[in-house]
């Protein structure tokens, strides 16, 4: 084994960073044996140096992250700051000054992955980011290495623990959205401002990264259709139960049937209780993958948290250090397929639509006509009447999102339709 | 991209091999883009050359596997013959003559993994074998790479599809073992001689491989405790249901609490319905992993079949080809921890024991005394009496297998115990 240690700098020392530093110390012997050389924590960049950091020698701590990544003697820089800047500049500076990078930064990877990969390639460095999607779950390596000889057709996942906790709570207790959110906040599963989670921004960033890797093409954050889950109601869960379904916030990346384009989207959807994703409880994440040869695979585990995210970071650290000792780099970005990303209107799926209608003869015929005129075929209809008001629940066969949108617009203009109570996609069948 | 192709030879052209050859042809452009060079099928060794093989040029087919691996111009040899010989000799010969090897051979890896890894190292070649455990499920790469910075404490999996199909059938229909086996045979899930599957030999080979990788130590096939599932009855499933459990044939690899030794075992066990492994249906496989930092992970997918196994083989093929172009090799065997493998008697778990006893006063007291004398603490007892006969179902707290064995021997010698109807371990709590 080489005795000269590989030098690692840590950018950020919050929940994840402090755990990375801790494991680097407590598991130093194991890491050295697995890498083939010891690793040394060479510096830690933080925002406030005054805070005492247990287990980290004070002389390693600096507030000057730029000077740290410019040192020139670093082998690996671990970026766990998050956000776009200064992370982006620090990563490219690290590449320029001889270091490979392990990052957990989904927002940055989703927005600027292509440029960062290009910078890594230019300087012959590695850029690894297993921790950026679904925390501890090995996902990026399986998709880009284990399935490198296969053709992936769909990736469908629960990639946000906060929203899964909320939806699971609504499902199991009958609580409304606000009540479930309040509990998630009280238990620390939701942040004070939960927007990034509940509006699907976090999941959309992960969808962009997953779609790019799965289909060997470039998918930007702007390419991902996004719908949050704040409008899911207890009534939606009741409807889902009647269909033998539950509701999950899903990130879905699909190859079109003709193979020439892909789509990526995040929205709440009904899935059958028999689907493996339906039984993913609490704040857990899981990603379901369908490919030509392997068939159906699922990867399940904790999607966030200091220790799980640190596990993913350290797995990458070991790989990058091994590559360094081998004088090689791992697989970089693979975007050769250069597929078109189709808009949401092209997505084909099933829909569950609840309408409030007048309880009088002929309404169903009117509604059915509208669906037919837009080429949307109806699978089942359920009608419930009470006191002159009625509700009509329509489940469609597979149709394009554009056709469905047209159908709903036309339904809204019918006198007999008082309102569209909810529209939800049905997936996983 | 390099234009000179990498040369690949295929040893075996059965269900898996023919699928590997097919995908190499149909996905040639994708494979070339992902590897950075085209791959060429340079030869196919078969037992009978007379059989027509669709899509494979007849001049590539040979019955002389030894001459094929000695050609000297091969980059990768894919071994999908199975069994110990001639596979072992062909693989080492391939290493000697310049090729790296991708194998799907669990029996060989479990029996001779150490020697094969040593031969690969000696010649600077790669030995990859993702397909040897749990078919298409990316498992070996996640364990040995993604979790390389973590400490794995337990690997518990359903790694044999045939037995899971049988047990799932017994669970869902109330069928007995023989009836479920007959159905599995009729549907092609079980072989004419199902011994390797139902007696746990296949799962034991996978347990040896998984334990070695998970704990960075050497675990031989002989180190794995093995119990088949032919004696699981409909009555056992009824008992399991009363406890909110189902029964699965599990491969369990554990690190002892003190960290100094490991155990590996295969046997049927009750697991709670709430456990992620409980909902693995039909012939699917799944492996549940517990580690210090990542926590609980699960990997799920098809554990066998031509196309799924080919997917795993081709993922390895891409990795090995990339390594070759990089002038590097991937991570070899990691057995530095050199941990002791403890015998089954040291395993600590819970037990579900059904006794046929005389229905008279004092029996429960006698039985309870025997458990106490052997240091096995009882969690619950259920007693059912009928016509002078009674059954007693005891569920224990955690105890060593040695204590439990001693308890059962003593119980058998009691006059009031007519027989021990079943003993089953309870896992996953």
> A396 and A379 in contact (C-beta within 8 Å)?
yes
Q: Which of B311, B232, B223 is nearest to B267 (CA)?
A: B232
Chain A residues in contact with B15 by the CB 8 A cut-off are: none
pTM: 0.94
Confidence of residue B257 (pLDDT cuts 50, 70, 90): confident
How far is the alpha carbon of B273 from chain A, nearest alpha carbon, in Å?
11
State how far the Cα of B319 lies from the Cα of B324, in Å rounded to an integer.
9
pLDDT at A135: 86
| pLDDT of B258 higher than 90 | no
Domain harbouring B410, CATH code: 3.30.70.260
Give me chain B's average pLDDT, please: 94
Nearest to A148 among B149, B298, B315 (CB): B315
Cβ of residue A97 closer than 8 Å to a chain B Cβ: no
Give ipTM to 2 decimals: 0.93
Closest-CA distance of chain A to residue B297, Å: 4
Same domain, A147 and A295: yes
- Each residue of B362-420: pLDDT tens digit? 899 999 999 999 999 999 999 887 777 889 999 999 999 999 999 999 999 999 999 99
Q: To 10 degrees, the CA torsion angle through B319, B321, B325, B327? A: 70
Tell me the pLDDT tens digit for each residue of B47-103: 987 777 888 999 999 999 999 999 999 999 999 999 999 999 999 999 999 999 999
How much is the pLDDT for A359? 86
State pLDDT tens for residues B220-238. Answer: 999 999 999 999 999 999 9
Write the pLDDT tens digit of every residue in B308-367. 999 999 999 999 999 999 888 888 889 999 999 999 999 999 999 999 999 888 899 999
The CA radius of gyration of chain B, in Å to the nearest whole number, is 24
Interface with chain B: mutation pick from A25, A148, A212, highest number of B CBs within 10 Å: A148
- In this structure, are B283 and B171 located in the same domain? yes
Shared domain for A293 and A379, answered yes or no, is no
A312 in contact with B, Cβ within 8 Å: yes
Dihedral angle, C-alpha A295, B169, B396, B292, nearest 10 °: 0
Tally Cβ neighbours within 10 Å of residue A20. Answer: 30
**CA of A414, closest CA in chain B: separation in Å?**
45
- Residue A385: what pLDDT? 74
Residue B140 within a domain: no
pLDDT tens track for A132-178: 998 889 999 999 999 999 999 999 999 999 999 999 999 999 999 99
Chain A interface, best mutation among B23, B149, B324, by max A CB count within 10 A: B149
pLDDT tens digit sequence for A350-359: 999 999 999 8
Interface of B with A in 334-393 (CB under 8 A): 334, 336-337
Q: Looking at residue B303, what is its pLDDT?
A: 86
The verdict on B250 and B310 lying in the same domain is no
Share of chain A above pLDDT 70, in %: 100
Q: Using a CB cutoff of 8 Å and minimum separation of 24, what contacts does A199-203 make?
A: A199/A226, A199/A228, A199/A230, A200/A160, A200/A163, A200/A226, A200/A227, A200/A228, A200/A229, A200/A249, A200/A266, A200/A267, A201/A226, A202/A106, A202/A159, A202/A160, A202/A162, A203/A159, A203/A160, A203/A163, A203/A249, A203/A251, A203/A266
- Work out the average pLDDT over B11-37: 95
Q: Which pLDDT belongs to residue B365?
A: 93
Whether residues A296 and A374 share a domain: the answer is: no
Q: Write the residue in B146, B149, B336 that is nearest to A141 by C-beta.
A: B146
Q: What is the largest distance, in Å, between two alpha-carbon atoms of chain A?
A: 85
* Residue B422: strand, helix, or coil: strand
* Tokens 């409880």, located at residue: A281
Q: What is the pLDDT of residue A257?
A: 86
- For residues B159-179, average pLDDT: 96
Q: Mark yes or no for CB contact B298/A297 under 8 Å.
A: no
The C-alpha of A256 sits at a distance from chain B's nearest C-alpha, in angstroms, of 17
Position A34 pLDDT exceeds 90: yes
Which residues of B carry out catalysis?
A: 206
CB B253 within 8 Å of CB B409: no
Identify whether residues B118 and B182 lie together within a single domain: no
Taking the Cβ of residue A137 and every Cβ of chain B, the question of whether any pair is shorter than 8 Å is answered with yes
B279 CB neighbours in chain A (<8 A) are: 276, 279
Which among A258, A250, A264 has a CA at the least distance from the CA of A342?
A264
Tell me: do B292 and B419 sit in the same domain. no
Q: Which structure tokens are listed for A337?
A: 């397929």
Conformation bin of residue A142: beta by default, left when phi > 0, alpha when psi is -120 to 50: alpha
Residue B260: in which H helix or E strand, if any? Answer: none
- Whether residue A1 lies inside any domain: the answer is no
Q: Domain containing B256: what range?
A: 150-302
| Closest chain A residue by Cα to residue B213 | A34
Average pLDDT over all residues of chain A: 94
Lowest mean pLDDT among A47-56, A123-132, B186-195, B232-241: A47-56
Bridge pairing between strands B348-358 and B417-426: antiparallel
Q: Do A93 and A222 belong together in one domain? A: no
Q: How confident is the model at residue B3 (pLDDT cuts 50, 70, 90)?
A: confident
Place of tokens 């924590």: A41
Determine, yes or no, domain membership for B335: no
Residues of A involved in catalysis: 206
Q: Where are the alpha helices (DSSP H) in A98-160?
A: 106-123, 140-141
Residue A333 per-residue DSSP state:
-
Distance (Å, whole) CA A23 – CA A38: 13
* pLDDT score, position A161: 95
Task: Find where tokens 């719908």 sit.
Answer: A227
Establish if A335 belongs to a structural domain: no
End residue of a domain, out of B269, B302, B335:
B302
pLDDT computed for residue A216 by the predictor: 96
Instruction: Name the minimum distance, in Å, from the CA of A49 to any CA of chain B.
Output: 26
**Percent of residues, chain B, with pLDDT higher than 90:** 88
Strand, coil or helix: A160: coil
Does residue B142 lie in a domain region? no
pLDDT at B15 over 80: yes
Q: Is A351 helix (H, G, I), strand (E, B) or coil?
A: strand
**Do B70 and B164 lie in a common domain?**
no
The answer to the question of residue A331 being in a domain is no
Contact A334 B34 (CB under 8 A): yes
Do A153 and A296 reside in the same domain of the chain?
yes
Task: Examine the fold and report which residue of B302, B336, B359 is the final residue of a domain before the chain moves on.
Answer: B302
From the list B47, B84, B72, the residue with the least C-alpha distance to B123 is B72
Q: List the alpha helices (DSSP H) in A216-292.
A: 234-242
The CATH number for B317's domain is 3.40.50.720
Residue B239 placed within a domain: yes
The answer, for B318 touching chain A at a CB cutoff of 8 Å, is yes
Per-residue model confidence (pLDDT) at position B81 = 95
Q: Which residues from chain B sit within 8 angstroms of residue A149, using beta carbons?
A: 23, 27, 31, 34, 310-311, 313-318
Helix or strand holding residue A9 (H, E): strand A6-11
Same domain, B368 and B394: yes
* CB of B326 less than 8 A from some CB of A: yes
Express each pLDDT in B100-137 by its tens digit. 999 999 999 999 999 999 999 999 999 999 999 988 89
> What pLDDT is attached to residue B101?
98
| Chain A residues with CB-CB distance to B277 below 8 A | none
Does residue B333 belong to any structural domain of this protein? no
Nearest to B150 among A150, A302, A315 (CB): A315
Same domain, A404 and A357: yes
CB contact under 8 A, B317 and A151: no
Q: E strands of B187-260, at which residues?
A: 225-226, 245-255
At residue A408 the predicted structure's pLDDT band, cuts being 50, 70 and 90, is very high
Instruction: Determine the distance from the C-alpha atom of residue B60 to the mean position of all C-alpha atoms in its chain, rounded to a whole number.
Output: 34
Contact call for residues A4 and A294 (beta carbons, < 8 A): no
A353 versus A304: which is more confidently predicted? Answer: A353
Residues A94 and A100: their CA atoms lie apart, in Å, by 7
Distance CA B137, CA B57 (A): 31
Chain-chain contact of B23 with A137 (C-beta, under 8 angstroms): no
CATH (domain of A148): 3.30.360.10
**Mean pLDDT value across residues B201-205:** 97
Cβ atoms of A256 and A209 closer than 8 Å: no
What local confidence, expressed as pLDDT, does residue B235 receive? 93
First-to-last alpha carbon distance for chain B, in angstroms, is 52
User: Does B272 contact chain A (CB < 8 Å)?
Assistant: no
Question: Does the CB of B322 have a partner CB in chain A at under 8 Å?
Answer: yes
How far CA A132 is from CA of A249, A405, A426, B110, in Å, comes to 18, 33, 27, 35
Residue B331: its pLDDT value, please? Answer: 84
- pLDDT exceeds cutoff 90 at B21: yes
The number of distinct structural domains making up chain B is: 3
User: Does position A49 have pLDDT exceeding 90, yes or no?
Assistant: no
CA dist B283 and B399 (Å) reads 32
Given a cut of 80, is residue A388 above it in pLDDT?
Answer: no
Phi and psi based region of residue A55 (left: phi greater than 0; alpha: psi -120 to 50; beta: remaining): left
């Amino acid at each position: 084994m080489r005795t000269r240690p590989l030098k690692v700098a840590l950018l950020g020392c919050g929940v994840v960073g402090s755990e990375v530093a801790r494991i680097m110390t407590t598991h130093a012997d194991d890491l050295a044996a697995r890498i083939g050389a010891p690793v040394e924590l060479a510096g830690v960049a933080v925002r406030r140096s005054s805070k005492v950091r247990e287990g980290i020698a004070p002389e390693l701590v600096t507030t000057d992250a730029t000077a740290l990544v410019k040192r020139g003697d670093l082998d690996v820089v671990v970026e766990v700051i998050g956000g776009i800047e200064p992370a982006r500049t620090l990563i490219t500076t690290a590449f320029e000054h001889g270091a490979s990078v392990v990052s957990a930064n989904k927002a940055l990877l989703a927005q600027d992955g292509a440029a960062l990969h290009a910078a890594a390639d230019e300087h012959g460095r590695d850029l690894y980011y297993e921790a950026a999607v679904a925390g501890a779950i090995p996902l990026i390596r399986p998709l880009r290495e284990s399935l490198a000889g296969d053709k992936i057709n769909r990736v469908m996942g629960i990639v946000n623990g906060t929203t899964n906790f909320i939806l699971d709570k609504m499902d199991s207790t009958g609580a409304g959205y606000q009540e479930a959110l309040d509990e998630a906040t009280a238990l620390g599963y939701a942040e004070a401002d939960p927007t990034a989670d509940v509006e699907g921004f976090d999941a959309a960033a992960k969808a962009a990264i997953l779609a790019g890797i799965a289909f060997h093409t470039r998918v930007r954050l702007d390419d991902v259709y996004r719908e949050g889950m704040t409008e899911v109601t207890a009534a939606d869960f009741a409807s889902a139960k009647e269909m033998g379904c539950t509701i999950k916030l899903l990130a879905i990346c699909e190859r079109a049937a003709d193979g020439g384009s892909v789509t990526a989207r995040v929205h709440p959807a009904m899935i059958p209780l028999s689907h493996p994703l339906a039984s993913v409880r609490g704040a857990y994440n899981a990603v379901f993958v369908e490919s030509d040869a392997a068939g159906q695979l699922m990867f399940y585990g904790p999607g966030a948290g200091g220790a799980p995210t640190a596990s993913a970071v350290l797995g990458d650290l070991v790989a990058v250090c091994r590559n360094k000792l081998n004088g090689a780099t791992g697989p970089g970005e693979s975007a050769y397929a250069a597929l078109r990303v189709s808009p949401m209107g092209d997505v084909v799926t099933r829909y569950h639509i609840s309408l409030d209608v007048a309880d009088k003869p002929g309404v169903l015929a009117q509604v059915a006509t509208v669906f037919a005129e837009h080429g949307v075929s109806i699978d089942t209809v359920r009608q419930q009447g009470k006191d002159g008001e009625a509700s009509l629940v329509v489940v469609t066969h597979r149709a394009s999102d554009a056709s469905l949108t047209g159908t709903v617009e036309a339904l809204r203009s019918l006198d007999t339709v008082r309102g569209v109570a909810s529209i939800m996609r049905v997936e996983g069948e």
